[in-house]
Amino acid sequence: MLIYDVTKEELIEFLVTNGHKKYRADQIWHWVYKQKISDFKEMNNMPNDLIELLAQNYKLNALELVLQHRSQDGTLKCLYSLHDGHLIESVLMKQHYGNSICVTTQVGCNIGCSFCASGQLKKKRDLTAGEIIAQIIETEKLLKERINYVVVMGIGEPFDNYENLMKFLTIINDPKGLSIGARHITVSTSGIVPKIKEYAHMGMQVNLAISLHAPNNEIRSKLMKINQAYPVEEVIDAIKYYLKVANRRVTIEYILIDEVNDMDEVAHELVKVLRGLNVYVNLIPYNEVLEAPYKRSKIEQQLRFYDILKKNRIQVTLRKEQGHDINAACGQLRSQHL
C-alpha cells in the first residue's frame, strides 16, 4: 500500500497498534506531504525502528515517469506508469494565477463517450486515492514548483471511483496534507445523477463541473451513451439539487463539435435549458481524436455560439486553443503511446 493511501486516522491507528506515539502521525505527514520525501530514511527526527516499520508496510514511489512533453506555453504533459505497468497521464498547466494540474482517476473509462480518447480504452481498474495524490507530488518534483490548483478531468469518470475520490480530496485539502484549497479544486463528471446528489452533501467547498455537451437528448445520446441512463432533464434536476444543497455555482462544460452541437438553434436551446440557473458555461473547442468522426467547430461558429449565450445573459467563457487544452491533452498522450 502507498503511504498516500493512508488517512490520518488510519495512520494513527497503525502507529498505536505498533507501540508508537500518536503525534508521530503529524511528523510523518510533514515529511510525506511537505518535504515530499522519496525514502523514509530521509526522516531525520524519527526513531530507526519506526522508519523500518514504515518502509516494511508502505510504499512511497507510486509512479514511474515514462514520457514528458513540454510545450512552449509551459504546459507539461506527463505519462506515468503504475506499479502494475498501466499507463496514466497528468497535465500541468501554467496559468496566470498559478500552477494547475489535471489528474487521472481510472485506467481507461467505461462511460465510453464517442468523442473521447479515454473512452475508447475500456476501464482496466480504478486508481487508489494514493495513486491520484502521487500524480500531484511527482509532477511538483519534476516542475520544482508548488501546484496550487487541481482539476479532476484526466482519464476516467471520477464519480465511478467515488470513495477513492473522496479520500483523495480529503487528503489534498488537509492543511497538514497537500493543503490545496477546496475552492482551487474542480471535479468534472459526465453526469452520474445519484452521485451528483451525494456529492452535494459532501461538505467541502470543492467545485463541480458537469459535461453537458448538448441541450437535448437527441444530440447528447449520440455523444454520450450515459445519457440513456441519465438523460438531460435528470442531469438538470441534479444540478438544481446541487445548487440548492451546496449553494455553489456549477460549471457546465460544453465541447464545440462542428455541425453536431454548435448550431445557432442549439445555442438557443441551451439558453432555455440553463436560464435562471447559477451556472457558467465553459465552451471548449473540440480537440480532434483518432478514430472519432468529429471535427472541431469552425472559429466563426465558436464565436457565434458564444455570442448567443452572452446576449442571452448566460455566463460563458470560450477557451482559447493552445497546448492549454487540458481535456484534450488528457488521455491523448496515453492513447497515442499505446
Q: Which residues are catalytic?
A: 89, 330
Where on the phi/psi map is residue 144: left (φ > 0), alpha (ψ -120 to 50), or beta? left
If one asks whether residue 153 binds ligand SAH (CB under 6 A), the answer comes out as yes
Chosen residue from 109, 147, 273, 314 binding ligand SF4 by CB under 6 A: 109
Q: Kindly report the CA angle at 12 between 10 and 17, in degrees rounded to 5?
A: 95
Q: Strand locations in the chain, DSSP E?
A: 64-70, 76-81, 87-95, 98-102, 106-107, 125-126, 149-152, 185-189, 207-211, 250-256, 279-285, 315-318
Phi, psi of 254, deg, nearest 5:
-145, 105
Residue 209 backbone phi and psi in degrees, to 5: -120, 140
Residue 150 binds which entry of ligand SAH, ligand SF4, none, with Cβ cut-offs from 5 to 8 Å by kind?
none
Site size with ligand SAH, rule: CB under 6 A = 16
Grid look-up 508496510 returns 57
Residue nearest to ligand SF4 (CB): 119
Round to whole Å and give the CA distance between 182 and 173. 6
**Rounded least distance, CB 227 to ligand SF4, Å:** 11
CB of 32 to ligand SF4, least distance (A): 29
Contact letters for ligand SAH, residues 189-208 (x by CB under 6 A):
xx------------------
**Count, residues near ligand SF4 per rule CB under 6 A:** 11
**Residue among 29 and 199 whose Cβ is closer to ligand SF4:** 199
Name the residue with cell 444543497. Answer: 245
Gap between the Cα atoms of 128 and 83, Å rounded = 12
Site stretch for ligand SF4 (CB under 6 A), options 83-91, 112-120, 235-243, 290-298:
112-120
Under the binding rule (CB under 6 A), the answer on residue 235 touching ligand SAH is no
The footprint of ligand SF4 on residues 148-187 (CB under 6 A) is 156-157
**Which residues in this chain contact ligand SAH in the complex, by CB under 6 A?**
115-116, 153, 157, 188-190, 211, 253, 255, 284, 286-287, 289, 327-328
